[in-house]
Structure 1
Amino acid sequence: MISPKSNSEDVTVLVVDDERDIADLYSTWLDEEYDVRTAYGAEGALDRADGAVDVVFLDRQMPEMNGDEVLEVLRERELDCRVVMVTAVDPDFDIVDMPFDDYLTKPVMLEDLYGAVDRMLTRENYDERMQEFFSLASKKATLEAEKEHAELQDNEEYARLEAEVEELRREADQSVAEFSDAEDFETLFQEFPGDA
């Protein structure tokens, strides 16, 4: 697993689902590698979410308070955690403005969970703009997987999302180009042969 933490046991994952069987299954799978907390609804999620949590798997459909509302509260608290929405409902264009980091559609398998944790921890190494890029790119990919091409092309929210992703991609490309122009590695190694 790629992680900025020293090892996977230092990573805390919060699993939130009002269906106990699903929450317990995900927790059992993840417990092999991570410190796992389990919540069976919104209230439990908000009780268990604190600064130690690195990744949250958050069910969108819960009775007393849905995942979208829980997500808002988590962001208001300014917790430094990545949030992966998990749902059985096909995503719609409302996800464009939601402040989550990734999106999984049920049924979710063990490799989906581990892959998501890996991606979220890897993103911790990037600055805010790059994290925003990955979040928006994830939303774009999710919509493209679920919607017809014509529906995407006719939607203003998707057009805005596409433009934001492209702008952030250009920024990233520019940063890489500036870094490459500023550092001629071959010359650098010739100047400092002992470090090469």
Structure 2
Amino acid sequence: MSDDTPLVLVVEDERDLAELYTTWLAKSYRVRTVNDGRAALDELDDEVSVVLLDRRMPDLSGDEVLDALHERGLDCRVAMVTAVEPDTDVIDMGFDDYLVKPVSKEKLTRTVANLLVRDEYGEGVRRLFSLASKKALLESETKTNALEESEKYQGLLDDIESLRAELDDKLAQLSEDGDLTRIYQDLGEDGSKD
């Protein structure tokens, strides 16, 4: 594989599971595998495109690793892959997707591919994907009446609506200014030069 192939960091304290994830991903991606949070911190660098992060680990939790990743300003996508059932606490966490174990090969590989596609978009669109993932996760894993009573969940819905409106406004502004047409023309010109 070339150095341009995306690098996935698997952080999983169950060694057999870590090896399984690595086997599933190794055909399409470069993969680094670590079995604890401290080792994850050593392996996190600008080369990492996607992190698959267990939440519950003995020495340093996945939540703490996630915080450290953001403190370092690393620009990679993160999927929590964990047996921890989600609650509204996930709304404030800075991950892009959340998978509840057990996870199938198809689900894991599709998630990595989707995260890499998301990475091609601007920050606003990536944030909208992240918020929408949290909304879908909570709606699939939490009782409806508990969500309706949750201020955090209602705040999440407000954030999604606000961000959608902001992105729609930006797209409309580009369209009104003719910038959207110029962007497509520029893309067409770039494509014809290759």
TM-score (norm 2): 0.87
Answer yes or no: is 1:121 the counterpart of 2:116.
yes
Q: What percentage of residue pairs aligned between the two structures are identical?
A: 50
Answer yes or no: is 1:24 the counterpart of 2:23.
no
Provide the secondary structure at the position in 2 that maps to 1:54.
strand
Kindly report which structure 2 residues correspond to 1:24-173, keeping only aligned pairs within 5 A, or say none: 24-173=19-168
Structure 1: where are the runs of 5+ without partners? Answer: 1-6, 190-196
Measure how far apart 1:182 and its partner are: 3.9
Distance in 2 separating the partners of 1:34 and 1:146: 30
Measure how far apart 1:176 and its partner are: 2.7
Letter in 2 for 1:21: D
Comparing 176-185 with 128-137, greater Cα deviation is found at 176-185
Structure 2: where are the runs of 5+ without partners? Answer: 186-194
Provide the secondary structure at the position in 2 that maps to 1:136.
helix
Whether the 8 Å CA contact 1:8–1:34 is kept in 2: the answer is: no
Measure how far apart 1:179 and its partner are: 3.2
Distance in 2 separating the partners of 1:44 and 1:22: 17
Distance in 2 separating the partners of 1:11 and 1:84: 15
Measure how far apart 1:8 and its partner are: 9.3
Comparing 46-55 with 125-134, greater Cα deviation is found at 125-134
CA RMSD of aligned residues (A): 1.9
Measure how far apart 1:9 and its partner are: 5.6
Whether the 8 Å CA contact 1:8–1:33 is kept in 2: the answer is: no
Distance in 1 separating the partners of 2:175 and 2:113: 28
Distance in 1 separating the partners of 2:8 and 2:120: 18
Distance in 1 separating the partners of 2:176 and 2:119: 26
Letter in 1 for 2:29: Y
